[in-house]
Structure 1
Amino acid sequence: MKKITVLVLVFLMVLGQAYTQTSQKEKTKDMKQTDHYTFPLSDKVTREKVSFKNRYGITLVADLYLPENRGSEPLAALAISGPFGAVKEQSSGLYAQTMAERGFATLAFDPSYTGESGGEPRNVTSPEINTEDFSAAVDFLGLQPAVDRDRIGIIGICGFAGMALNAAAVDKRVKAVATTSMYDMSRVMAKGYYDKLTIEQRTQMLEQMSRQRWEDAKNGTPAPGPRILPEKLKGGEPQFVVDYFNYYRTPRGFHKNSPNSNGAWNATNALSFMNMPLLTYIKEISPRPVLLIAGENAHSRYFSEDAYKTAAEPKELMIIPNASHVDLYDRVNIIPFDKLTSFFNRYLRTGKANTPAKSVAANY
């Protein structure tokens, strides 16, 4: 992976994260799905569409999952989002449903400006607002009669893992945080993969996006960048691009509301990430626990490893043998749900959490 040229990495950065002024328009295939979800509804849970507002007044739409036979006691709860450019009918919903089967109240939400959630313009992201989305989800969960508001955790997948860690650092109501296939979106946008973006390349990107703002202001609407993923693979793409394509652009994971399946980011989308590092205060999550999960063969593995080095105790790093980045989106035989369950059961117990464990970095 490290041998891929810097120019290719910059071009593919965040799968088409745009800073050009043009857009490639392509026709999207009609891919039918049962109830528009990429996974069937389990008979062990209930799913209810809900909505709530974040601190900026943006209405978020989410799916609330509850165990079918949950009893009368309030439950520990989890707010879940990601991957970057995905919607609740994809990976986050699968995680939410699976953790609800295991006894948690779970909320999979569409981030601001994405999917069924509100916010204009569309197909834009923000390190601040998307961090706030997690806290707004905690707001909602804490008001539900089925939830014990003192036992709320969060899970961030892929690019929303960085936002989840940022939210946990600032929002002390979050009692535990876990991430899978983590991306630090501010780092990759500001520095490129493996931090190989040169100052000259970074300056060129910023100059182009800065000029694009005048075009957007003149036209009254933001210009889209190139499609995030192509209609077809041409051959020779890096394996991680092939993996993304095989999830987002095939019936396995395609969803019409997902920018990664069906669209492009705005051409100036990277601006706010490039000088607002998400993980600046990761140490302030402590004494609440952090669990970082990554695939052994994931191109993104180094984000989790570096976050583990920076985070304070208690912390755990779990490397899944032979797994890729995208495997942790939906491969239920690979995603370590047993580990996620034991982690949150331990730290979201009734009353005070037990004494934090010594940090662990291990292959499983």
Structure 2
Amino acid sequence: MTMKMEKLHLTSEWDKTFPKSDTVDHEKIEFINRYGVTLAADLYRPKGAVDEKLTAIVVSGPFGAVKEQSSGLYAQELAERGFLTIAFDPSFTGESGGFPRNVVSPGINTEDFSAAVDYLSTRADVDPERVGILGICGWGGMAVNAAANDPRIKATVASTMYDISRVNANGYFDADDSKEARNAVRRQLCAQRTKDYKEGEYALAGGLPDVLRKMRRSMSKITGPIVTSSPT
């Protein structure tokens, strides 16, 4: 089966939350994961690195963030130190493709890291035996998952201030560390699934800015609501 890239709409101007380094070259790139989602990324390369196979590092995170923020800053700083780096938007996020938008899927987002390694391993200016990954905050867990399954990844950094696996299992400050609390969360999530399907619209997590809620409404005009069918 042939891999088919989605058409992405990438900005051409510098749109980061940090200033551009004068010792690093920058370009936008695209690559595809095994779920068929096309990912957008910023590639940073040290100026003057000609005819040289570089050590490469993939960067992503934090949870809910985009490459124009801290992952891009990490990537640019590492490029200033001689690495070829890419900071990517995870599937369904930022300039990357995939629907529905702003969804986090541990399985797919773990695959995103390996898809980035696919891309880097085919570049003439990268040593495929020296590729590492760096996950920030919640994406530290995705990075560790990817490294556990992908022997091409030779180094892994999880820049994470807390144990996200423990938080997912037990809640913040172990608030849900009981059978009753976990069952209550499960019931709540399953009730939300029913509500989403009935209303034809996916709910967003709490704490999101209004701009994302407006974006979700705008996207529904393009993609339409959840489509259901009745038995005939």
Question: Which band: TM-score by shorter chain?
Answer: 0.7 to 0.9
Matches within 5 A, 1:148-297: 148-197=127-176, 198-228=178-208
1:216 is aligned with what amino acid? D
Name the CA distance, whole Å, in 2 between partners of 1:130 and 1:78.
Answer: 17
User: Aligned in 2, Cα 1:201/1:209: closer, same or farther, shift over 3 Å?
Assistant: same
Higher relative contact order (CA 8 A, sep 6+): 1
1:220 is aligned with what amino acid? G
Contact 1:54–1:133 (Cα < 8 Å) also in 2: yes
Matches within 5 A, 1:1-364: 35-197=14-176, 198-228=178-208
Q: CA-to-partner distance for each residue in 1:186-220, whole Å, 9 max, x for gaps? A: 43123112333133222222111101111211222
SS of equivalent to 1:137: helix
User: Aligned in 2, Cα 1:170/1:94: closer, same or farther, shift over 3 Å?
Assistant: same
Contact 1:160–1:182 (Cα < 8 Å) also in 2: no
SS of equivalent to 1:227: coil
> Shift in Å at residue 183 of structure 1?
4.4
2:103 is aligned with what amino acid? V
Name the CA distance, whole Å, in 2 between partners of 1:69 and 1:39.
Answer: 22
Structure 2: runs of 5+ lacking an equivalent: 1-12, 217-232
Name the CA distance, whole Å, in 2 between partners of 1:212 and 1:97.
Answer: 40
Between 210-219 and 156-165, report the one with greater CA deviation.
Answer: 210-219
When normalised by structure 2's length, the TM-score is 0.81
SS of equivalent to 1:155: strand
User: Aligned in 2, Cα 1:193/1:227: closer, same or farther, shift over 3 Å?
Assistant: closer
Contact 1:159–1:184 (Cα < 8 Å) also in 2: no
Between 158-167 and 34-43, report the one with greater CA deviation.
Answer: 34-43
Percent identity between matched residues is: 57
Count of residues in Structure 1 that have an aligned counterpart in Structure 2:
201
Q: CA RMSD in A?
A: 2.0
When normalised by structure 1's length, the TM-score is 0.52
User: Aligned in 2, Cα 1:51/1:65: closer, same or farther, shift over 3 Å?
Assistant: same
> Shift in Å at residue 185 of structure 1?
3.5
Contact 1:160–1:183 (Cα < 8 Å) also in 2: no
Name the CA distance, whole Å, in 1 between partners of 2:205 and 2:54.
Answer: 43
User: Aligned in 2, Cα 1:67/1:131: closer, same or farther, shift over 3 Å?
Assistant: same
> Shift in Å at residue 143 of structure 1?
1.1
